[in-house]
Chains A and B, each alone.
Chain A
Amino acid sequence: MLRLRPRLAAWAPPIALGALTVALIAAVIVTRHGRGLLVRAPVPQVIARKVSGVPTPRVPSQKASFDAEVIYGAGLTNVAPSPVAALKTQLGDEWRELGRAVGRLLVRPSGTRSQYFEIGMVAVAPQGSARLEILTSTNQKGITPVNAGASQVISFGPFLASKHGRTGIALKSVQPHDAKVGARLLLSPLQAEYLAPGEPVMRMPALAELGPNGLRGMNIPNGVTARLQIAPGISGRCMVTLKAAGIGGTLRVTAAVGNETHSVLVGSRPAVIHIGPFLHPSSVLSLSASSRGAYASTRLFLSNVRLVAAPPRA
């Protein structure tokens, strides 16, 4: 028996390598059949349904805005009910739980295919504050804080879209002040849309606010500046076009692109306005509203914001 032991020990390397070989064969088989790990999410085509007992939310329901193809993978397989009852009509009742593991998903944005896209979602941190980190397969990154308790509307972008159509996304919850794994997060069904050149990253369409004449967009309170990330693709002289209306009175809208600022007056009736021209485009567009009367309730409603090439000089 004692003589056998050294012999057995000498066979340890081939035995270990045999185990490694078997593990690798199993790994390749798992990867092949691992496509089953990716759970195809039930994508609600129309989520504008009324749920009895739920008060009508301030934000209007959206039609067919979840038509981006989303395939949830490892780390996002746990489905949870919506933690915010008021958002069930907009976002549905199938949220995803992001735990300690990295959540992976594939997304094909909706809309006309272009080089860039945006992703929007609502995140809730039920147990403690965290930061949501996003990495795309096109090597782009974003990070945003998610405070405990309250729901937070998040928009990431503009991200470079994969040329293969679907872009891989990795989501991770990290601690507020370091890179360690953060608290559990609940994520709403996400919306991804292609961005045309010069189009800004806005709040997710399902949560767009209702304005005059049925317009959907966002409100900017008097005295507040909104900074919007712009999808690249515009060069040379450019202008800002948007449909806007002053709610509660006439407002002065100031747009800043790079170091240049221009402003125009906006009345209470929705109208398409052009601001500019600006000599050079920038990745950030700042829009602010101000009124002489300074009524607290006065606000600017805007939609269809876009940075476009300025017409050539006459």
Chain B
Amino acid sequence: MKAILLLCVALALIAVVVLVGLRLVKATRIWPAALLIVTAPLEVYRSSSAAGLNVSLFRLALVLGVGALAVDLARGRKRFTRVLAIPFVIYGAFVTWQLISLVFVTPAHSLAYRFLGQYAGGLVAAFIITCYVQRKDLRVVAGLCGAAAVLPLFAAAFRVFSVRHGGSGDLPGLSDLPLDPTIQAARKSGSYLLDGTQRLNATFSDPNHFGFYIATVFLVLTGAIYWILFIEKPTPRRVAASYVLLATSTVVAVIGTYSRSSWLMAGFGVIVLGALLGRSIWTRQRMIAAGTIGLLVLGLASPLILSRLSLSNRGNVESDQVHERTMSVALKLVAHDPVFGVGLGDYGRHARQPSLVSSAHSTFLTVASELGILGVALLLGAITMTSIGAVRSARRAPPGDRAILSGFTAAYVGLALANIFYEVWMDDFQWILFGLVLALTTQDYVSFRGVSLHKRATGRGAAPGAATDQGEVVVC
């Protein structure tokens, strides 16, 4: 009970800071979404409740968001439309399939409940975001994503210097938040490479998860920087300086996680972002400048990157062997039962993984082995539909919006690609990104007035979060 109260107090403090910030930019109406955006990366701040459930800052914010939405619906400030973005519909089918697996297939009920809850909770969070965020909030939301990363970045530096000075490296307050011992071990002890190099993990238990999160913020900020430097006139120097410095911090943090998957995500995301920004804005001078900056960063970081990527590095060899083994086990399980899979959350038992772990180090292979071909097809369908809508929307948006939308889209596509080689699809920030992409871009949707499939959202009656290319949004 004490732990829950502490989390509530922390959430109240965060809410005050968020409201003050939103007040300054005159966007207080998006506070439920803002609270979710800010609390999503504070992953370590959670505790086991008496009922055995994990209560985190994000989940408390989610409860608050659901309450706010209910109040707004009751007061008539929001209204439900009978349309739903197609990715939501596909995810609905996916969760139903998970439920079927839980009831009829899997023997690992405990883990299955956790996984199902993670997806269902994530979808609710994404839905709340689509209900509050509109295309006109694009710049505010981009800034909010950057601001939310400040605390994790600070925590990353704090942990390193704490260990350097003989401290434990634990973040303040964690000892008052008891957790399952297996999770607590990962939360508190940090992560080191075989040669003793400490990896940045900030407010996450796993440096890879932090790497994915911070790479997401980097891509969003890169899009926003492009807007500030080249489109916004006159250029707001202070804002530009803040964004550039924050983006530099995120680049340093991405490198400092020593997470190869998040490096892949950042690299691929930059390529997608460049492609989405289009040829018209890539003048010769800008290409030379961008190339020089890129080479400079790579040159400075090359000793770290090369040592981590070296094929002769024993740690890499062993890590690759582990990944190959988990992936081959997943493929064998898919071949063994392609229809139903081994059951939600039961992959770990077949791969002889510790309790509470069920991961093939690839989101898609884990889902395929646990839920069969239909399960992975639904997941891929949801991701593909979201990506198509986001890419189409970014390409058709006016230049100012296009830069920032490209950042969000590149982050989403990059995150999806990197999940081939790692597994962070159930993370809270992934659902936040998913919700933001749906809220800010134009998505196909299904109308439940006679169940007709609409090609594009065009205004009133649009799917929750589906903005038109002109920036008009009708949500709830």
Contact = CB atoms under 8 A, between A and B. Distances in A.
Secondary structure class of chain B's binding surface, majority of residues: helix
B473 to A, nearest CB: 29
A73 B196 contact: yes
Nearest to A35: B196
B108 to A, nearest CB: 17
B351 to A, nearest CB: 12
A212 interface: no
Contacts of B175: 179-180
A120 B462 CA distance: 65
B417 to A, nearest CB: 25
A31 B160 contact: yes
Most chain A CB inside 10 Å of its own CB: which residue of B154, B157, B175: B157
B166 to A, nearest CB: 5
Interface in B154-193: 154, 156-157, 160-161, 163-164, 166-170, 175, 178, 181-186, 188-189, 191-192
- In this complex, the member of A38, A101, A160, A179 whose beta carbon has the largest number of chain B beta carbons within 10 angstroms is A101
Contact of A164 (B161, B188, B318): B318
Interface in B315-354: 315, 318-319, 321-322, 354
A272 interface: no
Interface in A1-56: 10-11, 13-14, 17-18, 20-21, 23-28, 30-32, 34-35, 37-38
A245 to B, nearest CB: 38
B28 interface: no
A247 to B, nearest CB: 40
B245 interface: yes
A77 B166 contact: yes
A141 B182 contact: yes
Given A139-B354, A179-B178, A14 B241 contact: yes
A180 B192 CA distance: 25
Nearest to A75: B166
Interface in B121-172: 150, 153-154, 156-157, 160-161, 163-164, 166-170
Contact of A34 (B164, B185, B194, B238): B164
A101 B166 contact: yes
B164 A37 contact: yes
A244 to B, nearest CB: 33
B37 interface: no
B182 A27 contact: no
B46 interface: no
B154 A20 contact: yes
Contacts of B164: 30, 34, 37, 74
Contacts of A127: none
Contacts of A179: 175, 178
Q: Which of A10, A27, A179 has the most CB of B within 10 A?
A: A27
A138 B354 CA distance: 8
Given A28-B256, A37-B164, A102-B188, A21 B178 contact: no
Interface residues of B, number: 53
A168 to B, nearest CB: 6
A164 B182 contact: no
Nearest to B176: A179
A140 interface: yes
B197 A35 contact: yes
Contacts of A165: 194, 314, 318
A180 B197 CA distance: 28
A279 B197 CA distance: 47
Given A11-B238, A75-B168, A164-B315, A28 B182 contact: no
Contacts of B168: 75, 101-102, 172
A131 to B, nearest CB: 14
A20 B303 CA distance: 22
Contacts of B157: 20, 23-24, 26-27
Interface stretch (B50-58, B247-255, B278-286, B360-368): B247-255
Contacts of A11: 238
Interface in A94-123: 101-102, 104, 106
A166 interface: yes
A101 B199 CA distance: 19
Interface residues of A, number: 47
B304 interface: yes
Contacts of A25: 252
B200 A31 contact: yes
A34 B319 contact: no
Nearest to A168: B192
Nearest to A172: B168
A31 B197 contact: yes
A159 B238 CA distance: 53
A20 B155 CA distance: 10
B358 to A, nearest CB: 14
B196 A37 contact: yes
B110 interface: no
B285 to A, nearest CB: 25
Nearest to B303: A32
A287 to B, nearest CB: 28
A21 B252 contact: yes
Interface string A161-205: 001111010101000000110000000000000000000000000
Interface string A255-293: 000000000000000000000000000000000000000
A139 B322 contact: no
Given A24-B256, A30-B164, A35 B195 contact: yes
B246 interface: yes
B458 interface: no
B96 interface: no
B432 to A, nearest CB: 22
A31 B164 CA distance: 9
Contacts of B256: 24, 27-28, 31
A31 B199 CA distance: 7
Interface string B436-453: 000000000000000000
Given A37-B196, A141-B182, A166-B194, 6 more contacts: A23-B157, A28-B304, A34-B163, A37-B164, A74-B166, A139-B354
22 contacts: A13-B242, A17-B241, A17-B249, A20-B154, A24-B153, A25-B252, A26-B157, A28-B255, A31-B198, A34-B164, A34-B196, A71-B196, A73-B196, A77-B166, A101-B166, A101-B167, A102-B168, A104-B189, A135-B181, A139-B354, A165-B314, A170-B185
Smallest CB-CB A-B distances: 6 pairs: A102-B168, A27-B160, A17-B245, A14-B241, A135-B185, A35-B196
Interface of A: 10-11, 13-14, 17-18, 20-21, 23-28, 30-32, 34-35, 37-38, 71, 73-75, 77, 101-102, 104, 106, 135-141, 160, 163-166, 168, 170, 172, 179-180
Interface of B: 150, 153-154, 156-157, 160-161, 163-164, 166-170, 175, 178, 181-186, 188-189, 191-192, 194-200, 238, 241-242, 245-246, 248-249, 252-253, 255-256, 303-304, 314-315, 318-319, 321-322, 354
